[in-house]
């Protein structure tokens, strides 16, 4: 058991009754994240290209590295040694190709399924790089029910925030595999098939176990849509001017990390906590910085706590 006043693993656990004035109803205040609409996400990318002179391949490399790091943090190669990255024809698929290369370097056995390839030098080069790093390219997917026999984790890089239904026939088998496989799915920026602003929509819908939001989270990344999925923020490349223009409220990245756990809103049963009282907490509370809803077993209530890195 851990205690409220315990120091450990370079993290400090603090009770959030100090946020008492910032609580609304029965939710812990986490700074009110800004979630982007589809138009805002598109405009932000355009600004990065036009005003801040980023190139597509530059952003793709940073995003793909963030994705690979988040997957490795959640499903490390010593427990999930084999990974399949399912890539679409757009920039999201390019992020997936970059992630595949980095995951190979991280120690995974990696395969890529790329059913609709983009005939542009950037994507052709990324695919060739994957091959040179011993990433296997598979043209046909096994049945969804058999994916678990070959892979321990899937990366969903099929559709990004520009997706609009319906799904093309050529890509339906890939999306069906993501939806129906009994393997953890890590989605890049947007769970494929979801409405960017309104979430999963009608069933059957993809239920990722991990979402890596890039740049800033989109509206579909709100907790009511993600439910129990883990959520990371990746893509540590936003200039201060972009953050100000889009009024982004984003948590700081720890140290030199390229990704970090996202802070979520949690329901609690009681707001008032005595800071001088030691409270036994769940052991995984110290695993990552961020806000947590944790159960005080002694008093049978849920409290909101914040885990922070010590400077």
Residue by residue, DSSP assigns 15-69 as EGGGGGGG-BTTB-----PPPBPHHHHHHHHHHHHHTS---HHHHHHHHHHHHHH
Which pLDDT band holds residue 32 (cuts at 50, 70, 90)? Answer: low
pLDDT digits (tens, 9 = 90+) for 45-81: 999 999 999 999 999 999 999 999 999 999 999 999 9
Q: Do 13 and 72 belong together in one domain?
A: no
SS3 content of the chain, % helix, strand, coil (to 5): 35, 25, 45
Which pLDDT band holds residue 305 (cuts at 50, 70, 90)? Answer: low
Q: Do 118 and 256 belong together in one domain?
A: yes
Of 137, 126, 132, nearest to 57 by C-alpha is 126
Q: Do 215 and 167 belong together in one domain?
A: yes
Which pLDDT band holds residue 282 (cuts at 50, 70, 90)? Answer: very low
Task: Tell me how many domains the chain contains.
Answer: 2
Which residues span the domain enclosing 169?
38-261
- φ, ψ (nearest 5 deg) of residue 213: -75, 135
Q: Do 256 and 274 belong together in one domain?
A: no
In eight-state DSSP terms, residue 253 is P
Q: Do 253 and 274 belong together in one domain?
A: no
* pLDDT of 14 above 90: no
Q: Do 139 and 16 belong together in one domain?
A: no
What mean pLDDT do residues 94-107 have? 98
* pLDDT of 125 above 90: yes
* pLDDT of 274 above 70: no
Angle at the Cα of 103 (from 97 to 104), degrees rounded to 5?
95
Of 186, 196, 187, nearest to 161 by C-alpha is 196
Q: Do 96 and 24 belong together in one domain?
A: no
pLDDT at 221 (0 to 100): 93
Which pLDDT band holds residue 10 (cuts at 50, 70, 90)? Answer: very low
CA dist 202 and 207 (Å) reads 12
Are 161 and 218 in contact by the 8 Å Cβ rule? The answer is yes
Tell me which of 266 and 110 has the higher pLDDT.
110
Determine what percent of the chain is predicted with pLDDT higher than 90: 60
Average pLDDT, the chain: 79
Q: Do 9 and 124 belong together in one domain?
A: no
pLDDT digits (tens, 9 = 90+) for 233-266: 998 899 999 999 999 987 778 888 888 887 543 3
Q: Do 71 and 98 belong together in one domain?
A: yes
Determine what percent of the chain is predicted with pLDDT higher than 70: 74
Tell me which of 180 and 34 has the higher pLDDT.
180
Q: Do 139 and 207 belong together in one domain?
A: yes
Which of 224, 243, 261 is at the close of a domain? Answer: 261
Stretch among 5-9, 94-98, 195-199 having the lowest mean pLDDT: 5-9
Q: Do 14 and 76 belong together in one domain?
A: no
pLDDT at 279 (0 to 100): 37
pLDDT digits (tens, 9 = 90+) for 203-227: 789 999 999 999 999 999 998 899 8
What mean pLDDT do residues 156-171 have? 88
pLDDT at 258 (0 to 100): 85
Stretch among 19-28, 148-157, 238-247 having the lowest mean pLDDT: 19-28
């Amino acid at each position: 058991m851990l205690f409220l006043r315990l120091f450990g693993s370079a993290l400090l656990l603090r009770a959030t009754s100090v946020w008492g004035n910032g609580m609304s109803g029965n939710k812990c205040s986490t700074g009110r994240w800004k979630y982007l609409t589809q138009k805002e996400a598109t405009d932000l990318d355009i600004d990065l290209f036009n005003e801040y002179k980023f190139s597509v391949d530059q952003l793709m490399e940073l995003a793909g590295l963030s994705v690979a790091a988040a997957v490795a943090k959640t499903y490390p190669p010593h427990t999930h040694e084999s990974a399949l990255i399912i890539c679409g024809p757009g920039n999201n698929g390019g992020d997936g190709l970059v992630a595949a290369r980095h995951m190979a370097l991280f120690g995974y056995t990696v395969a890529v399924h790329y059913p609709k390839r983009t005939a542009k030098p950037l994507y052709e080069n990324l695919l060739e790089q994957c091959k040179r790093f011993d990433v296997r390219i598979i043209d046909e997917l096994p049945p969804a029910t058999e994916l678990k026999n070959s892979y321990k984790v899937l990366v969903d890089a099929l559709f990004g925030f520009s997706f609009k239904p319906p799904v093309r026939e050529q890509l339906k088998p890939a999306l069906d595999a993501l939806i129906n496989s009994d393997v953890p799915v890590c989605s890049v920026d947007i769970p494929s098939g979801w409405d960017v602003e309104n979430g999963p929509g009608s069933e059957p819908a993809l239920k990722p176990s991990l979402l890596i939001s890039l740049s800033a989270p989109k509206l579909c990344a709100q907790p009511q849509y993600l439910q129990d999925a883990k959520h990371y923020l990746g893509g540590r490349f936003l200039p201060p001017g972009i953050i100000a223009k889009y009024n982004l409220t984003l948590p700081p990245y720890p140290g030199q990390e390229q990704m970090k756990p996202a802070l979520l809103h949690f329901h609690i049963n009681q707001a008032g906590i005595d800071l001088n009282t030691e409270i036994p907490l769940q052991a995984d509370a110290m695993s990552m910085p961020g806000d947590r809803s944790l159960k005080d077993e002694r008093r049978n209530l849920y409290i909101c706590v914040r885990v922070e890195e010590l400077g």
